[in-house]
Structure 1
């Protein structure tokens, strides 16, 4: 509507007049008129007049009657008030007085002047319009007492509502951009406050990587900025509450608390990521209720601290995994006997490291692993690096982190794992890998065991080659399980069906050449058949043959275990998932040596590698390299934090 853009935003384009009273009315002969009043005006060269009041016979008639709603008005619309006299019912009324033309803007100014002069602001204001008598002039000029009310038209109402909504949206958007920056700064300060030996240090990198990967999703006008803003603000509130509520407490306790709140933030970020990828979910009551409940939990985190109601991060995830394997084996002995898996392939104790894993590596691998199937990330990631740099330690650390946040993962290593047999240096077979991964998935993933039972009980499983066995025990059960979870989740209207399942294959370089070729071929052929929530994470030394094969596969990503970077590489992020780093410019993307690469600015502690050396280039024969709980060669370090001086809580300054 054209009137909206031209009209003063403080007034509506529809008007209603209340004709209150006339003063000093006279007929031409001085008699008492039988008077009525109306107003006439022009709209787009068309003459329009209002409804006419009833007739009152008096020199000062009172009507107190409202006109009809006058629509389509503009500030320059001119109004002329006309008083008429009715001599007899059947005769045409005659005009006895009228005003000069008044624009709508002038009428509003007259009302404003009357408002200023009125003491009782609760009573609607009347104002007077001079009239001119038709015919003989009277001693006192007549006048008309009016009351004026303007209304917003439907179009104006919609416009103002939309404008108000946009103003609120803009305010929330600015607040969200600022809160993202402040949260990143909080993570930087927190990282500088925690020793490298603390498990919470890894949780900071996991949080930073996951947050960096979903930041671009917030650049969407359809998301609920208000709730997202307050959720991010509550993350920071929880961290600052720990700082203030634990003054004078031991370093061990404070680190435990920081680790707990970071794990809770990771849980929340994963839920938020699903919502951001499906903006319509913000309209669902259960989603809004979940966000509000989570926000409240973070806002009151300090009360939980004072009550001591938090769980320890020292829970042995590896011990829990071993327990789950024993339970499944005991209750499904016939199935496990046919599977014949390797039971002790997993590390039995968590790693104790003296140097921190490269933040960029942890951020990249964890964010890729934890993003929901909404993200449609590539199905395989190969993390390569020199020998003894900490890849197996990182795999163990990730298993522990995944266990803390209820993400199931299966693990297999091609290193000869038998400590009792120092003669046999041959790597495990590909069939052994398949059977072991199937056994672990059945043990760790709820509802997966039935698919494995069906596959094992089918005839001829012992005669299958690797490709068919992998299809029978891994691909098909994963597909069936994914469909089952999807159907169940659809019935209850939840987003949980998109939780990931991670398969970790370690020590790829320990395979023989024939094994390596066959494994890469079968994996490459099946990546597109994997459900979207399944990720295959492969660790190994840098091998050119592996690189050349995976570079040709559009469903595979390659990441180097590097200590030279301190943040998530934007180019790598873009190659792994459908996100554009350029859209995350609000989160301090700092230019690196390559003009096409950006680095997410997070905790700036430089990480050193745990060792050096290793092979690259052509594939070399397998060596007898033993795994240990302390990681590749080197002293086992104590888990103690040492003196309180090693740990310093930093105040946030903004």
Structure 2
């Protein structure tokens, strides 16, 4: 006669073991899905740890996109030789230093300078030199050098996150970290939002908040003049619709925030998807002579 099997009693498991029902004690934002296939039950568990990740890990910026990259490994490998391009460099520096705090007039300085020209005319060299100059002055908000065929540096996917990560750096704009971190942790911003929307939430809005109510450190830096963001080789980004949308958002930001002590230097070839949004009073075309 077969022996009758008694069901085994469940044994409580200590939370410290991370086993059994206590495995998810510290998890956040997780979902459990249930499937039945061929009479075999499968349970799918997805845990989203976005709430506990470090902000730099969350943003996952490109390490080789800024002016601090190794240009031998991450081109363009270009910078102005000492004593060259001096009149043009002087003009750009003068434009960056123009005050945004004076009453608005028809001669009020533009906030976006578009440096355009043909391939090989020195746009990237100028962008690199200007980035280095304002980084040394602690007035560089961020820089990004697009490059065709260079993986993520030829796409828009990680552009906003990389610029935002630089914005929090000690050499960038003080007081932006909290706003960037708050935006990055909002559902969907990093996973579902298009790049232009990401850029508004992760870069422009934090800048606006920090510049509107400056800390002591911010006030000390603002005495020297506006902050500068540099974007080089915009035409080498493959995502043309995203680029156009980003430029439209950028122009719109300065229309509604004309006093923001922030400047954007953008260099590219004169392509339609770039020229069209920049044919605006907020932007200043500036040819890069050889």
Q: Distance in 2 between matches of 1:334 and 1:507?
A: 30
Compared CA separation, residues 367 and 460, structure 1 to 2 (3 A): same
Show CA shifts across 1:40-86 (max 9, x none).
xxxxxxxxxxxxxxxxxxxxxxxxxxxxxxxxxxxxxxxxxxxxxxx
Pairs within 5 Å for 1:309-324: none
**Greater RCO (CA < 8 Å, at least 6 residues apart):** 2
Show CA shifts across 1:119-175 (max 9, x none).
xxxxxxxxxxxxxxxxxxxxxxxxxxxxxxxxxxxxxxxxxxxxxxxxxxxxxxxxx
- Does residue 378 in structure 1 map to residue 110 in structure 2? yes
Compared CA separation, residues 341 and 352, structure 1 to 2 (3 A): closer
CA contact (8 A) 2:243 2:273 kept: no
- Does residue 463 in structure 1 map to residue 189 in structure 2? no
- TM-superposed CA distance for 1:482, in Å, is 0.5
- Does residue 436 in structure 1 map to residue 162 in structure 2? yes
Find the counterpart in structure 1 of residue 274 from structure 2. 546
Pairs within 5 Å for 1:420-435: 427-429=154-156, 431-435=157-161
Pairs within 5 Å for 1:24-39: none
TM-score by length of 1: 0.31
Compared CA separation, residues 464 and 538, structure 1 to 2 (3 A): same
- Does residue 400 in structure 1 map to residue 147 in structure 2? no
- TM-superposed CA distance for 1:483, in Å, is 1.7
Compared CA separation, residues 355 and 335, structure 1 to 2 (3 A): closer
- TM-superposed CA distance for 1:459, in Å, is 2.6
- Does residue 454 in structure 1 map to residue 174 in structure 2? no
Find the counterpart in structure 1 of residue 85 from structure 2. 358
Find the counterpart in structure 2 of residue 503 from structure 1. 229
Pairs within 5 Å for 1:19-418: 334-346=54-66, 347-348=69-70, 351=78, 357-375=84-102, 377-416=109-148, 418=150
CA contact (8 A) 1:385 1:540 kept: yes
**Secondary structure of 1:463's partner?**
coil
Compared CA separation, residues 529 and 353, structure 1 to 2 (3 A): same
Show CA shifts across 1:91-138 (max 9, x none).
xxxxxxxxxxxxxxxxxxxxxxxxxxxxxxxxxxxxxxxxxxxxxxxx
Q: Distance in 1 between matches of 2:245 and 2:222?
A: 35
The higher radius of gyration belongs to: 1
Q: Distance in 1 between matches of 2:133 and 2:153?
A: 31
Compared CA separation, residues 544 and 428, structure 1 to 2 (3 A): closer
What is the RMSD of the two structures over their aligned residues, measured on CA atoms?
3.0
- TM-superposed CA distance for 1:394, in Å, is 1.1
Q: Distance in 2 between matches of 1:480 and 1:426?
A: 28
Q: Distance in 2 between matches of 1:523 and 1:495?
A: 23
Q: Distance in 2 between matches of 1:456 and 1:495?
A: 26
Question: Paired residues, what number?
Answer: 222
- TM-superposed CA distance for 1:560, in Å, is 0.5
TM-score by length of 2: 0.66
- TM-superposed CA distance for 1:361, in Å, is 2.0
Find the counterpart in structure 1 of residue 283 from structure 2. 556
Q: Distance in 1 between matches of 2:174 and 2:149?
A: 28
Compared CA separation, residues 471 and 397, structure 1 to 2 (3 A): same
